[in-house]
Amino acid sequence: MAEKPEDFNMPSNVVAKIIKESLPSGVNVSADVRSAASRMSADVRSAASRSASIFILYVTTCANSIAIANKRKTLTAQDVIEAMNQIDFEDFAEELTAFQKTLQKDKNQKLKNKSEENTDSQDLDHNEDNGEEEDDEEDEEVEDDDDEEEEED
């Protein structure tokens, strides 16, 4: 468990990246610590970090309540989606549901590809094993032919 409130804050580099990607082009968040604009941007980053942390804790608490109500101790993605609906963030819940489906589809595709690779490698191993046996049989036939030729001479 976190010992200080700061332990719940999002990493500042992650927050800065999210802010930078969210702002329209031409708007900057200054990194110069000496300027007044920089102090403002530091305050913005701090406020965004704190807000994101509180939001995550709130959603997690709601999802945990859902899991407990369903007599489970482990949170699932569905618990988080249901929590987002409960706190009136239906738009986010829809995006999370779509993301979850995409993630599951990708996971299933990777498993399918992996099982096909395993099947292919097993087929190769099987063919190699059979190929070696066939080579041995051919060698024996050649030796038998040589023996027959020697006997005829």
**Spatial distance between the Cα atoms of 138 and 140, rounded to a whole number of angstroms:** 5
Domain extent listing, the chain: 1-88
pLDDT, residue 11, reads: 79
pLDDT average, residue stretch 84-94 = 91
What percentage of the chain reaches a pLDDT higher than 70?
A: 66
Q: What span, in angstroms and rounded, lies between the C-alpha atoms of 29 and 51?
A: 18
Please indicate whether residue 130 or residue 80 has the higher confidence score (pLDDT).
Answer: 80
CA distance 10 to 108: 31
pLDDT, the chain, mean: 77
- State yes or no: pLDDT of 132 exceeds 60: no
Q: What is the pLDDT, as a whole number, of residue 63?
A: 95
75 in Cβ contact with 67 (< 8 Å): yes
Residue 147: band (very low, low, confident or very high) from pLDDT cuts 50, 70, 90? low
Distance CA 75, CA 2 (A): 19
- Least confident range of 86-95, 101-110, 137-146: 137-146
Q: Are 60 and 26 in contact (CB under 8 A)?
A: no
When mean pLDDT is compared across 34-38, 90-94, 117-121, the lowest value belongs to: 34-38
Distance of CA 116 to the CA centre of its chain: 21
Residue 141 neighbours by CB under 8 Å, 6+ apart: none
Alpha helices per DSSP H over 23-89: 36-69, 77-86
Over range 61-83, report the average pLDDT. Answer: 94
43 close to 36: Cβ distance less than 8 angstroms: no
CATH class for the domain made up of 1-88: mainly alpha
Each residue of 30-46: pLDDT tens digit?
A: 555 455 555 557 777 88
Q: Would you say residue 57 has pLDDT above 80? A: yes
For 49, other C-beta atoms within 10 Å of its C-beta total 21
Please name the helix (run of DSSP H) or strand (run of DSSP E) that holds residue 101, with its range, or none. Answer: helix 90-152
Flag whether pLDDT at 12 surpasses 90: no
Tell the residue number behind the tokens 């407990």, with chain if given. Answer: 68
CB 67 within 8 A of CB 74: yes
> Element (H or E) spanning 72, and its range?
none
- Averaged over 131-137, what is the pLDDT? 51
Confidence of residue 15 (pLDDT cuts 50, 70, 90): confident
